[in-house]
Each structure stands twice: as C-alpha cells, then as structure tokens.
Amino acid sequence: MPETLDTLPMTGPMSTMQRMGHEQLVYCHDEASGLRAIIGIHSTVLGPALGGTRMWNYASEDQAVMDVLRLSQGMTYKASVAGLDLGGGKAVIFGDARQHKSEALFKAYGRFVNSLSGKYITAEDVGTSKSDMEWIATETKHVSGLPESMGGSGDPSPVTAYGVYMGMKAGARVALGNDSLEGRKVLVQGVGNVGTYLVEHLVAEGAHVWISDVYEPSIQKLLSRFPQLEVCQPDQVASADVDIYAPCALGATLNAQSIANLRCALVAGGANNQLATDEDMQRLMDRSIAYAPDFVINAGGLINVYAEIKGLNREWALQKTRGIYDQTLAIFEQAAQNRVSTNEAAVRLAHQRLTKVAHDQQASSSR
Ligand SMILES: NC(=O)c1ccc[n+]([C@@H]2O[C@H](COP(=O)([O-])OP(=O)(O)OC[C@H]3O[C@@H](n4cnc5c(N)ncnc54)[C@H](O)[C@@H]3O)[C@@H](O)[C@H]2O)c1
C-alpha cells in the first residue's frame, strides 16, 4: 500500500476492519420493509465468504458492528481450520426475531446479498430460520442451508452438535484423563437448536446433564423427553458444580466475572465467540480450565453447508465432522508444545493455511 494512504488516520469501523483484516463491510437499508442490516466480509482468500445471518435486537449500532466483525473473522478461521475452500462472512439484521420478521424484509435483504454476486453466501443463524432462507432464495441463489425439499441440506444444527460432542470428547481426554462422558457432569447453556441435539448425544452416552435456558418452553420441551435432566437457573450457570461447561447460547459468556466463578475443568460448547475478550483466554489458563476453541468444534454446521454447495451428501459431512475429534486433540497438543493457549494454537493453524493459499495465489497470478 502506498505510504501516504497507509498513514491517513482512520477511526471507527474502518480502523477496526484494518486491525482485524476485513475486506468489506456492507450497510444495507430498505425503507419500505424497514430492513437495516450489515454484511461483514472478512476474507475471500480461500473461497466465497460464507456465514449466517443473525437477527438480533442490538442495543446500539456499535454493538452490531462489533458483532458482525468478530463473527465474520471467526468464520474465516473456522473454514480454514476445517480445511474447507470457503472464506469468512457474516451478517446481522437489526430487530426482534419474534416480532419484526416479514417476507418483504427478507426479500429486501436477499436483494442486497445478490448485489454482492456470490462474494458472500448467507445461511441461517441465531434468530433466522429455514423459512427466512426460502424468502431470501426468491431474490438470490447465494443462500445455503435451504430445506431438503428445495434441494438444500436442511438444518445444520444436528451436524454442528455432533461436532461439538466430538470436540468435547477430545477435550475431556486432555482435561479429564479419558474421552468417556459417561457419568460426567455436563452443563449445556442454551437448549435451542444446537443445545438440544447436543443433549441427545450426552444423554445417549450416559452423562449427567444440566440444562439452562432463558426461554422456559425450551426447557419444558426437553424435560418432557428426558425427565432425568437437571435444570440450572441462568444466573447460576457460571458457578455450577460440573466437569464440563458447554456454552450453546450467545457469545461472550466467558468473561472476567464468569471465569472467576467457574468450577469446571473444561469448556466445550457450540456458541460462537465465547471469549468476551482476548484476556479471557489467559484468565481460563490461570485457573487451569481447558478450552476447546469454539470455532474448531462448532464447524459441523459449516461443513454441512459446504457439502450442500459442493453437491456432497450428509454422510460425507458427518464423516468430516467426526474429524473434529482429532483436530481438537492436535490443537491441544500444539498449544502444549508451543506454550500458547488452545485458542492461539487454533488461530495460528488458520493463519498458516490462509498465508500459504494467499502466497500461492500471488505466485500464480504473477506468473
Ligand atoms: N445452528 C448451528 O448450526 C450453529 C453452528 C455454529 C455455531 N452456532 C452457534 O451456536 C449458538 C446456538 O445456536 P442455535 O442455532 O442453537 O441458536 P438458538 O437460537 O436455536 O438457541 C439459542 C438458545 O439459547 C437461549 N439463550 C439465550 N440467552 C441465554 C442465556 N443467557 N442463558 C441461557 N440460554 C440462553 C435461547 O433462549 C435459545 O433457546 C449460537 O451462538 C450460534 O451462533 C450455531
């Protein structure tokens, strides 16, 4: 970059984009439907930037920008470590998913996605569903995770949960001495799509499972299927006396306050961006709590969507997702060898592949 350009002072989202390495941030506004959304494209080095669209009642624009920047960066790392030819992107729509959805809003959003000509491919995320994706699909082909009836791969959550379960077992082998979860005390925070399927695996293996959710009907639904489950109140999660804590709700549940109270030996869950800040990884290490990096063990859903795009079947996706066990073990080993955190070891792994591919691309374009 020319020196004069590099030294121009930048403040606000642009400086954060530069620091975090983002390519593009797209603000979307449609007056007729009330749509306000932001699409974040972190990297297209490995392929089109793929990541879900989150619908959330953000308290401020700054909060939404930070969310989309962090989430899209996480998608780049996730795809890279999982060995997929995909870049990282994510989008957020402002609004309450239980109140503000409309066909017009998602169609307007679909037109914005379409305007990026495949550089960004969207999918489901917190607050959006398969039917929302169907509305988006009327305006663009750059949408994944469509229902099976439309030729899509359907709900990615069961595959995500399977990967989390595999990563948790690998983490247990390191933190608890073996990978059996039978009799282990596991707390699943957030029993929505991913949490529910994770509970199924844990119950099947004979774990002693606690569940927690702020939405009572989700708790009751699961209790009606598995009456043996214990319920933990949302404000008691951090101090629960369990072996493994599985955050499966929203991000940033690992922060200074919660980490000080944790009593578990291992954190392994499906939520994205579990660490509120980089310092929180050090806080976990100071308390000798093992951490299976979120973007490594929750990659199953992305693998499933990748299979859809590439025309591969669910068996392929499940087989690849099973590999999260070995990948997690390898990351724990590299972290120990290099005396870094497991999060750092995973980020380094992601960067290694990104750097190599970018280098190869540059070399072939200058030939
Ligand atoms: N669905 C996937 O395939 C997938 C893939 C990768 C990552 N993730 C991540 O996993 C997490 C869960 O995804 P999901 O699809 O299951 O979402 P979801 O909306 O179906 O479930 C989230 C659940 O968490 C609950 N919740 C919210 N705040 C809570 C709190 N403070 N305490 C307890 N419960 C709380 C909600 O009531 C809801 O039941 C998200 O962070 C998402 O980004 C999901």
pLDDT tens-digit map of 108-130: 999 999 999 999 999 988 899 88
Based on the residue annotation, tell me whether 169 is a catalytic residue of this protein.
no
Which residue lies with its CA nearest to atom 8 of ligand 1?
271
Query: Which protein residues are within 6 Å of ligand 1, measured from CB?
Result: 125-126, 156-157, 160, 189-195, 212-215, 218, 234, 248-251, 270-272, 298, 301
Coil, helix or strand at residue 188 = strand
CA dihedral 110→114→118→122, nearest 10 degrees, is -10
- Residue range(s) in the chain whose domain bears CATH number 3.40.50.10860: 22-69+87-146
For the stretch 185-221, pLDDT in tens is: 999 999 999 999 999 999 999 999 999 999 999 999 9
Which atom in ligand 1 lies closest to the alpha carbon of residue 71?
A: 43
For the stretch 54-81, pLDDT in tens is: 999 999 999 999 999 999 999 999 999 9
Residue 266 near residue 292 (C-beta atoms within 8 A): yes
- Residue range(s) in the chain whose domain bears CATH number 3.40.50.720: 157-299+325-351
Q: At what angle are helices 300-310 and 314-322 packed, to 10 degrees?
A: 140
pLDDT of residue 160: 96
What distance in Å separates the CA atoms of residue 270 and residue 363, rounded to the nearest whole number? 37
CA distance to 169, 228, 234, 258, per residue, from 254 (Å): 20, 27, 14, 6
pLDDT of residue 363: 84
For the stretch 237-295, pLDDT in tens is: 999 999 999 999 988 999 999 999 999 999 999 999 899 999 999 999 999 999 999 99
Which atom in ligand 1 lies closest to the alpha carbon of residue 160?
A: 3
The lowest-confidence range among 131-135, 178-182, 184-188, 287-291 is: 131-135
Q: How far is the CA of 249 from the centre of ligand 1 (A)?
A: 4
The single-letter DSSP state of residue 143 is: B
Element counts in the chain: helices (H) and strands (E):
15, 12
Residue 281 near residue 340 (C-beta atoms within 8 A): no
The single-letter DSSP state of residue 184 is: -
Pocket test of ligand 1: the residue of 213, 218, 219, 302 to mutate, having most ligand atoms within 8 Å of its CB, is 213
- Homologous superfamily (CATH) of 22-69+87-146 is Leucine Dehydrogenase, chain A, domain 1 (3.40.50.10860)
Helix or strand holding residue 159 (H, E): helix 157-175
Mean pLDDT over residues 4-25, rounded? Answer: 83
Q: Which CATH number is associated with domain 157-299+325-351?
A: 3.40.50.720
Mean pLDDT over residues 331-341, rounded? Answer: 98
Q: How far is the CA of 76 from the centre of ligand 1 (A)?
A: 20
Which residue lies with its CA nearest to atom 39 of ligand 1?
192
pLDDT of residue 145: 85
pLDDT of residue 82: 97
For the stretch 141-160, pLDDT in tens is: 999 988 888 888 888 899 99
Classify residue 326 by burial, with Cβ atoms within 10 Å: 0-12, 13-18, 19+. Answer: exposed
Task: Give CA angle at 341 (335, 342), nearest 5°.
Answer: 65
